[in-house]
Amino acid sequence: TTKTPKLLLNQFAALEAKSKVSFGAFFDMGIDKDLFVPEAEIVEKITPGEFYVVKLYIDEKTNRLAGTTKIKSSLFKDFCDLEVGEKVSAVPFEENEIGINVIVNNSFAGILYKNEVFKPIRVGDNLTAYVKKVRDDNRVDLSLNRFGYRAVDDNVDKLYEVLSATKGELNLTDKSSPEEIYERLGMSKKIFKKAIGSLYKQKLLQMSSTGISLIED
């Protein structure tokens, strides 16, 4: 084919289900021929028109390309060479009561906790995240925001730029909701409060009960 497929061998991608049959399902992988996922490789009900994360592999019995929705069993469990603070790719594939399970760097199992996510996330989104912790079972806790001193430094500059663009005023305070802060600034409430503190200590910012503003020279 001269077309570019949506995924390559041993990769994951969100594909649209085209049809469901008794022996499996067919998914649109961006080329003329749909990708077949055998019934034994399906872990949830497949509805045509919906998107599911699929891995492309070679079926040893037929020596042909096939797909699987058994994501967890396709990820490395015996080791994880990621480090805390490392920037990684994350592809969501499943939601549970505490968070969103993701594929990290096309290799490892990770999770984004719901109480730390303040924007809509869909199955198959290509996200950038940061490693918060590598657990004993080699699963990875992630954050959508960089954290630590570097994160604060970056967001101090960002907050200053936003204030400058809004004539020096912003009706957000340390009492504002985490959701509102993230929606307007793209940063967590914790980082926002640290950025405010940094600008305040530099005598660049003043606070009131209704918002924050830059101090004019």
Condensed to tens digits (0 to 9), the pLDDT of residues 56-94 reads: 999 888 889 999 999 999 999 999 999 888 899 999 999
- The lowest-confidence range among 48-52, 73-77, 127-131, 180-184 is 180-184
Strand 108-113 relative to strand 140-143, pairing: parallel
pTM (2 d.p.): 0.69
**3-state SS, residue 163:** helix
Strand 35-38 relative to strand 24-28, pairing: antiparallel
* Pairwise CA distance, residues 99 & 110, whole Å: 10
pLDDT at 153 over 80: no
